[in-house]
Structure 1
Amino acid sequence: MANAAILVIGNEILSGRTQDSNVAFLGKELAERGITLGEVRIVRDDQTAIVAALDALRASYTYVFTSGGIGPTHDDITSAAVAKAFGVALERDPEAVRRLQSRYGQGELNAARLKMAEIPEGAALIDNPISQAPGFRMGNVFVMAGVPSILRAMFEGIRGTLAEGPPQMSRSLTLSAREGDLAEGLTRIQDRHPQVEVGSYPSFAEGRSLVTIVARGIDAGMLDSVMVQTRALATELGAAIAEG
């Protein structure tokens, strides 16, 4: 199965000023194509940090998706960092310039905006139907905007180029129980189903301790089996089923 990593770039994410929503979107979309999301990293607008993260991730995963840092301002350094990571020049791409010209009026395509046409040598452009400033693909790295609406539009253009496998599915069950009481039994269930990811997520509501058990995998029969055994565990422990 193909796998992937996401590299989120931007000081504003690490400071908490901006809340990331791109990871949730990409994780869901990749799962539906049968691509396992194995890792997410967040780094500052720092070229050394971006290059180090790219070098590590692109060597370990089928695909790497980056978000952020391809705008017109001084701190938008992702394109330059990708060029450095791949050891190529950063060039003004004529097609990227043409697309920007279609967006901006006479005299509006200034030096700052032309920065968005600087693309690593040999990269393939990714369409941006919203603001025209393109992303790009370099090797197994897809470089996209941080603005959620633009990233989603860009992803629509590359979706069909990605590998496709059995979609990942999930089943869930919420129990009125304490997580520690379920731990031993859940370990046994996980051991019997190594191809399924079994997770437990505690919460509290109306004075009750709740635990939601989530099973993820590509085999519907195995997922159903995990849920049957989880229900049996709940009965064994006298834990009421709250939902699912």
Structure 2
Amino acid sequence: MSKNIGLIIIGDEILSGKRQDKHLKQANELFRPRGLSISWVKIVGDHADFLVQTLKESFASGDVVFCFGGIGATPDDRTRQSAAAALELPLERHPDAVSEIEAQFGKEAYPQRIHMAEYPKGSAIIPNFFNRVPGFSIQEHYFMPGFPMMAQPMMSWVLNTYYSDWQQEPRIELSIRLIGGQESEWVEFMESFEERFPELRLFSLPTISENGNRSIEMGVEGVNKLAVEGLEVLKQEAEARKHAYEIIV
């Protein structure tokens, strides 16, 4: 796999804090067992001009992008129209999407719900196993509803259908918690560690509790064998420094 994976999470309700995003967590749960990782995430509102500009940049990037939200039929759902504008394509009613929406809603599909079958010309549908209102894909961008319970199986379908060969050895995360101390005391060690293990991602997350006690979660992410080896080096360094630590399970 040589392409970056990005997420665009769309909705004023996410920016305002009225709702908390769950798509990033769900995406990681699907990607990690495949050995895949997310390169970037953008959270944007429903403002059409900004959404069009965001999608123009995203389409131009060549990345594989999963987009969530704004594909409904109400006036504040602007993702379908913005994707078409970003690609300078007309909206076109997709016959397979029409069939799905008619099958789900019958006569009540008209006059409003049927607009959810209108995508940028040349799009393919993404089956919605929850309520049969499809998402759509075009130029390796995959547009799904903002409801996580709908989006998760749709994203899984996309991965299995288009990227079944994107299987790499899963990466795991292992870490220890250093009790007390400052991150600055570990900078030189961390630099040398990264030179020794270029295929591991080394991370350091300091915490200050309400009573002022400090700790540092220091760990590695990588394929199993290397991650276990890297964790052992972290433990050995802490022991050599006589620095108290505990293994995070």
TM-score (norm 1): 0.91
Aligned residue in 2 for 1:164: 166
Q: How does 1:124-139 map to 2 (within 5 A)?
A: 124-139=124-139
Aligned residue in 1 for 2:122: 122
User: For residues 231 and 240 of structure 1, what CA distance do their matches in structure 2 show?
Assistant: 10
The secondary structure found in structure 2 opposite 1:72 is coil
Unaligned runs of 5+ in 2: none
Which range moves more in the overlay, 55-64 or 114-123? 55-64
Deviation for aligned residue 1:155? 1.4
For 2:246, give the aligned amino acid. A
The secondary structure found in structure 2 opposite 1:175 is strand
TM-score (norm 2): 0.89
Q: How does 1:33-112 map to 2 (within 5 A)?
A: 33-106=34-107, 108-112=108-112
User: For residues 80 and 139 of structure 1, what CA distance do their matches in structure 2 show?
Assistant: 16
Unaligned runs of 5+ in 1: none
User: For residues 66 and 206 of structure 1, what CA distance do their matches in structure 2 show?
Assistant: 38
Deviation sequence 1:82-102 (CA, Å, 0-9, x none): 112222110122221211112
User: For residues 96 and 197 of structure 1, what CA distance do their matches in structure 2 show?
Assistant: 42
Change (3 A) 1:112 1:138: same
Deviation sequence 1:56-93 (CA, Å, 0-9, x none): 23333531110000112101110111112222110122
- From 218, 243, 247, the counterpart of 1:243: 247
Aligned residue in 1 for 2:202: 198
- From 165, 178, 183, the counterpart of 1:175: 178
User: For residues 92 and 59 of structure 1, what CA distance do their matches in structure 2 show?
Assistant: 25
Deviation for aligned residue 1:188? 2.1
Change (3 A) 1:211 1:59: same
User: For residues 147 and 79 of structure 2, what CA distance do their matches in structure 1 show?
Assistant: 14
Task: Name the Cα RMSD after superposition.
Answer: 1.9
Identical columns (%): 29
Aligned residue in 2 for 1:184: 188
User: For residues 67 and 5 of structure 1, what CA distance do their matches in structure 2 show?
Assistant: 11
Count of paired positions: 242
Deviation for aligned residue 1:204? 4.4
Query: Contact conserved, 2:69 with 2:146, CA < 8 A, in 1?
Result: yes
User: For residues 91 and 18 of structure 1, what CA distance do their matches in structure 2 show?
Assistant: 31
The secondary structure found in structure 2 opposite 1:169 is strand
User: For residues 52 and 175 of structure 1, what CA distance do their matches in structure 2 show?
Assistant: 44
Aligned residue in 2 for 1:225: 229
Aligned residue in 1 for 2:217: 212
Deviation for aligned residue 1:131? 1.2
Query: Contact conserved, 2:7 with 2:66, CA < 8 A, in 1?
Result: yes
Deviation for aligned residue 1:242? 1.9
User: For residues 63 and 36 of structure 2, what CA distance do their matches in structure 1 show?
Assistant: 9
Query: Contact conserved, 1:3 with 1:35, CA < 8 A, in 2?
Result: no
Deviation for aligned residue 1:234? 1.0
